[in-house]
Copies of this chain bind each other. A is one copy, B any other.
Amino acid sequence: MSSTIRVGIAGYGNLGRGVQQAIKQNPDMELVAVFTRRDPEELAKVTGVPTARLSDAADYIDQIDVMILCGGSATDLPEQTPELVKLFNTVDSFDTHAKIPEFYEKVNAAALEGGKVGVISTGWDPGLFSMNRLLMQAVLPEGVDYTFWGTGVSQGHSDAIRRVPGVKAGVQYTVPVQEVIERIRSGETPSLTTREKHRRDCFVVAEEGADQEAIRSTIVNMPDYFADYDTTVTFISEAELAAEHSGMPHGGFVIRSAVTGSGSKQIAEFGLKLDSNPEFTASVLIAYARAAIRLSREGASGAKSVFDIPLGYLSPKSGEELRRALL
């Protein structure tokens, strides 16, 4: 890579902070500015780097090679990626699986209009897990694959707990059912219900005097979120919640169990065990930011997914170095 890659961060929640930290681990990257919808002067005290209004991003066109979008998939990214990719090469972690085709089309049109590259839906799922699903299916066409998530915190389910009357605070862990994973690893290809794949463990701080049994019952019977799962509810103190449940671990597995030839069993598995979900997602975004800038320098434009980008583009090393050291 000829020169340092100049990065902007749009949005400064857990993911934005993770990107800021990840840039420090990558000497070919340099953080130019953080963009926010909050008060930039106030936020600058936290970021420690130039911090500007997101609406002023256009002023930074000549200073930023790639903008890493760290907003949420529900409302931020559907609006921000198509806008910003007209001005900058972008990378995002849009993760609403069902809406990816529509998102791709919008980002692609805007990126082509701006002559920029927009890498969409990176991270680990969508992202590294998607890549492994594709790879394993392409190599092993006759098989079944399974994706398990966890053990990890689900924000959506934690929010659902916190909306239950009498609940002061709480966190929900998605837990893959280990016995089932072992069956698949040993060659079985079971058809699994939702309940058989994952368990949901809730740690709840109840308000003083609240009816714990009523809370438990409301949670475990909540449609969509918990009713289809085996759910445990454990009541803990606020101190315990802070001490033992403030991390954001996650992870999971993609396993494909297939046959070749006259029935040879072939099993491929990719797994992640993450202490910090946002820091890992941020690290993936950084690697794809490198790819975005390289594609752009080659003259590419439009929306790209992890399926469209050669792995060599993720590395700061040259093709020659990679073949010598890693192939």
Contact = CB atoms under 8 A, between A and B. Distances in A.
A4 B267 CA distance: 28
A320 B260 contact: no
B26 A141 contact: yes
A272 B279 contact: no
Interface string A277-320: 00110111011001000000000000001111111101110011
A126 B26 contact: no
Given A271-B268, A279-B261, A311 B139 contact: no
B315 A308 contact: no
Query: Copies per complex?
Result: 2
Given A126-B327, A314-B138, A266 B287 contact: no
Contact of A312 (B265, B286, B287, B307): B307
B314 A308 contact: no
A1 interface: no
A101 B308 contact: no
A324 interface: yes
A321 to B, nearest CB: 10
30 contacts: A22-B260, A25-B142, A100-B323, A100-B324, A101-B323, A101-B324, A128-B139, A130-B326, A131-B135, A132-B270, A134-B314, A139-B280, A139-B284, A139-B314, A185-B273, A260-B279, A261-B276, A264-B275, A264-B276, A264-B279, A265-B275, A266-B273, A266-B280, A268-B272, A269-B272, A270-B270, A305-B327, A307-B312, A307-B327, A308-B310
